[in-house]
Amino acid sequence: MVNEKRLEIVYSTLLGIDKETENFDISLIEGAIVSDEDIERLKGIRRRSKILIAMGSCAVLGGVPSLRRFTSEQELRNVYNVVYVPHLGDALPLSKFVTVDYYLRGCPINKYELLNLLEKLSQNEWFKQEERRFLFLREKPFNLEGVALSLDGEKCIVCGRCVKICQEMTSAIDYINRSLETAISTPFKVKLDESTCISCGQCILYCPVSAIMEKSYVAEVWKLLNSGMHLTAYVEPEVLIALSEALKSDVGGQLVTALKKIGFEKVVLWKPQTEFNTSDQLTIIPSSEAEAIFVQRFYPDLIDYMAPPPRIKDNCIVWFSPCIARKLSGSLILTTRELIRLLGTMDLNSLTKTQFDEVKLDASNKHEVEVVGMEEVRKTLESIREGRLKTGRVVLYVCPRGCLHGGGQLLQS
């Protein structure tokens, strides 16, 4: 391409090329952004470039330098036994500061992927960011379907974040194929619900391009609201906390106003409870379908000790939850993210406050032990299996830090 003069390199510090040029057709940028100087330089390049490509893991995701945020000074001193510790800021991907048109993942990147992209761009074969990103590379993008969530292979950049977090949950997904055909799938490409997936939705929180998303029921709720049906909204406290944190003020009262404005008759603040036998017998209480499926698949010998997960049997209730797995319960569930979509452009902070019609937070759970996070859940179930834990009520939460970090919560930028 360069020889045929379809592309001319006008600037490259590596190649020692610096031809005076006002604007660029294509800019390829490697490396993470670590300083204010980097940010300014990046913004300047963005202004002068028609197309900006983030090249490699550091530019795409922050890469290895970003790991420093998990390392304390003390750890560095312990490992390297030196007093000097560099005080650098966070290492962040380009997309944190500017619009990125194309991503070339990997460390190092795949040179054929780069050449293919340049080839297409030099032939003016543009494609929009939201369209298939690697149209010319993959014959068949591989989609994964599930009842509560699905993976859109056209959007997936195969960064592997979902695989990593799922290894901490149930290892339901992994890489398949090789080279440019690499994709994310379940073993033997079975549907998510037929794999070991428990619909916890943690992979959604980690996917940088929203290739994995929950099945949305916003349209169904609008249909019911528009039909004039008398609907009640049941809101879990964690939904309210996430919204209030995002908007930096307690917006409970404003949320009630907003939901009534769009047609809900009643709004209830509710902590889901399950029904179980109150005898002294050991009881495993799954906080959602995710924990129930986990026990069924991995500890089937303990099913007899398990109570059903919380459910609502009322067609006139829309349940707002931080949990993706509740979508398997048969109730009409909207996650915190879907609630935001339902409210559209409504500015909660500008609304007046209305009281909840009912607050049902009273949990008669004095005698319950709460087990939070997959590792602790596994340890507890092992203890029960081995007969070391014989009595009590044990409530399981597989998500890290519990429902506050449920798969349906707001995505962090």
Residues forming contacts to ligand SF4 in the complex (CB under 6 A) are: 149, 151, 156-162, 165-166, 169-170, 172-173, 184, 197-203, 206-207, 209, 211-212
CB of 181 to ligand SF4, least distance (A): 14
CB 298 → ligand SF4: shortest distance, Å? 12
- C-beta of 146: minimal distance to ligand SF4 in Å? 8
Which one, of 110, 133, 115, 127, lies nearest residue 180 by Cα?
110
Q: Which is nearer to ligand SF4, 33 or 325 (CB)?
A: 325
Work out how close the CB of 369 gets to ligand SF4 at its nearest, in angstroms, rounded to a whole number: 24
Q: Of 201 and 252, which has the nearer Cβ to ligand SF4?
A: 201
User: Which two three-digit tokens encode residue 223?
Assistant: 């249909």
How many Cα atoms occupy the beta-carbon half-sphere of 159 within 13 Å?
26
Q: Which one, 49 or 170, has the nearer CB to ligand SF4?
A: 170
Which amino acid is it at 396? Answer: L
Report in angstroms the alpha-carbon separations of 242 from 210, 408, 412.
19, 10, 11
Closer residue to ligand SF4 (CB): 46 or 215:
215
Are the C-beta atoms of 173 and 184 separated by less than 8 Å?
A: yes
| CB 104, min distance to ligand SF4, A | 14
Cα atoms in the 13 Å half-sphere on the side-chain side of 253? 9
Neighbours of 275 (CB within 10 A): 10
Q: From the CB of 266, what's the least distance to ligand SF4, in Å?
A: 32
Q: CB-wise, 54 or 267, nearer to ligand SF4? A: 54
Specify the residue, 150 or 273, whose C-beta has the smaller distance to ligand SF4.
Answer: 150
Q: How many CA atoms lie within 13 A of 160 on its CB side?
A: 9
The alpha carbon of 314 is separated from its chain's Cα centroid by a whole number of angstroms, namely 29
Contacts of 201 (CB under 8 A, 6+ apart): 148, 149, 214, 323, 324, 325, 406, 407, 408
Give the pairing type, strands 49-55 and 149-151: unpaired
Is the CB of 201 or the CB of 286 nearer to ligand SF4? 201
- Report the nearest approach of ligand SF4 to the CB of residue 132 (Å): 13
